[in-house]
């Protein structure tokens, strides 16, 4: 399939947990390979992407699902990564106080999962900071405001995995996947989905 043959406009909804530092490079490569394809990208929560109905907002969706055994992944998988407890380099939480937890808003499935895991293991915590997106969460981590849970490719410079805090529960992997084909979708969307599946998995 030659890039020049992909002509048209396509809207992509993507979770901002997916390789935040690599998205700009990905779009640049897509533009170079497929100069006649206009790609519009919006950032949404994975739940919003997975529950979106046809004709409402985007043509292709890339979401993240926690592989905790509660539900089967759907769609076309493009990447798996571990979840990690992370903190700013040099951050040392008090052993006497509840864990200072950094999270996204309540609508975030990862935030709900992390809280459930901590409560199930009896780890006391307090929400020390709530950010509106992954970039804000990364900034709070680097600033030393507390501890967060992020997938490996979303760990920012200035942060590190909390390997010495043995009381923290083990975490599963997450899987990023493109939503499966919709009934009656345009041929262009299927072609771009196949191209993105190869590009995002690289």
Spatial distance between the Cα atoms of 142 and 165, rounded to a whole number of angstroms: 18
pLDDT in tens, 47-98: 888 886 555 688 889 999 999 877 666 789 999 999 999 999 988 877 788 9
The β-bridge relationship of strands 147-151 and 173-178 is unpaired
Superfamily of domain 83-171: Periplasmic binding protein-like II (3.40.190.10)
CATH architecture label of 3-80+175-201: 3-Layer(aba) Sandwich (3.40)
Q: What burial class does residue 77 get, using C-beta atoms within 10 Å of its C-beta: 0-12 exposed, 13-18 middle, 19+ buried? A: middle
pLDDT in tens, 152-164: 999 999 999 998 7
Q: Where are the alpha helices (DSSP H) in 46-186?
A: 46-51, 109-120, 134-142
Asked if residue 197 lies in contact with residue 62, where contact means CB atoms within 8 angstroms, the answer is no
| Domain ranges across the chain | 3-80+175-201, 83-171
- Residue 13 pLDDT: 92
Asked if residue 199 lies in contact with residue 26, where contact means CB atoms within 8 angstroms, the answer is yes
Identify the band that residue 1 occupies on the pLDDT scale cut at 50, 70 and 90.
very low
Coil, strand or helix: which one is 99? strand
pLDDT in tens, 87-145: 999 888 777 889 999 999 877 889 999 999 999 999 999 999 999 899 999 999 999 99
Residue located via tokens 């992954």? 134
């Amino acid at each position: 399939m030659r890039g020049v043959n992909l002509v048209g406009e396509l809207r992509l909804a993507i979770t901002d947990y997916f390789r935040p530092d690599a998205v700009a490079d990905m779009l640049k490569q897509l533009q170079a390979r497929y100069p006649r394809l206009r790609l519009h990208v919006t950032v949404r929560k994975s739940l919003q992407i997975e529950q979106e109905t046809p004709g409402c907002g985007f043509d292709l969706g890339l979401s993240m699902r926690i592989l905790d055994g509660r539900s089967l992944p759907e769609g076309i998988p493009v990447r798996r990564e571990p979840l990690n407890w992370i903190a700013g380099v040099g951050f040392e939480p008090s052993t006497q106080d509840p864990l200072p937890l950094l999270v996204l808003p309540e609508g975030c499935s990862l935030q709900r999962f992390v809280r459930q895991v901590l409560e199930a293991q009896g780890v006391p915590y307090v929400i020390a900071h709530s950010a509106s997106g992954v970039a804000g969460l990364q900034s709070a981590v680097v600033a030393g405001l507390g501890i967060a849970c992020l997938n490996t490719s979303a760990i920012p410079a200035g942060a590190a995995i909390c390997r010495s805090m043995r009381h923290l529960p083990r975490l599963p992997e997450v899987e990023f996947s493109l939503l499966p084909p919709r009934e009656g979708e345009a041929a262009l969307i299927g072609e771009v989905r196949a191209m993105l599946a190869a590009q995002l998995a690289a």
